[in-house]
Amino acid sequence: MVDSGDLAAVQEQLGRPPRGVRAVAHRCPCGLPDVVETSPRLPDGSPFPTLFYLTCPKAASAIGTLEASGLMREMTARLADPELAAEYRAAHEDYVARRDKAAAEDGLEPLPRTMQTAGGMPDRVKCLHALVGHELAVPGVNPFGREALDLLPDWWSDGPCCAGGS
């Protein structure tokens, strides 16, 4: 069960009511949720493959700047390195296993194995927001999420992103 205060903060961050939230997966140093874990299926039954959803608009903005720099293209090219590709595939497998576990815990049919996981895994780098969300929720699992996270400024340093912060 997610605390109503956390849900209110996430709603303020997103500018809309959140859907399918199962848990707060990570908290920003300011104390607010910045990643939520969502159900693999939304309340209406439609698939939602993004298990770890980045909610903080300050973090999202900083990540958008990285995406605009061409970093994803460079990361994708680096998947030619077999060792890095294996680490990224392992991150994908972790994501699928966690998503399947969440479905089972919620009494839902798991999403098809052929459905995307997050951020382009395992064959390309498509969305740093999703990869950073995965790395924040499960530290040490996503190599490109870690790299992107290490390049980000301290988005929380000038205060919380919404009134729900401390």
The mean per-residue pLDDT over the stretch 52-75 comes to 96
pLDDT of res. 113:
82
pTM of this prediction?
A: 0.94
Band (pLDDT 50/70/90 cuts) for residue 165 is: low
Long-range residue pairs from 79-82, CB within 8 A, at least 24 positions apart, any chain: 79/123, 79/124, 79/125
**CA–CA separation, 72 and 45 (whole Å):** 32
The mean per-residue pLDDT over the stretch 153-160 comes to 91
Band (pLDDT 50/70/90 cuts) for residue 65 is: very high
User: Would you say 134 and 154 are in contact if contact means Cβ atoms under 8 Å apart?
Assistant: no
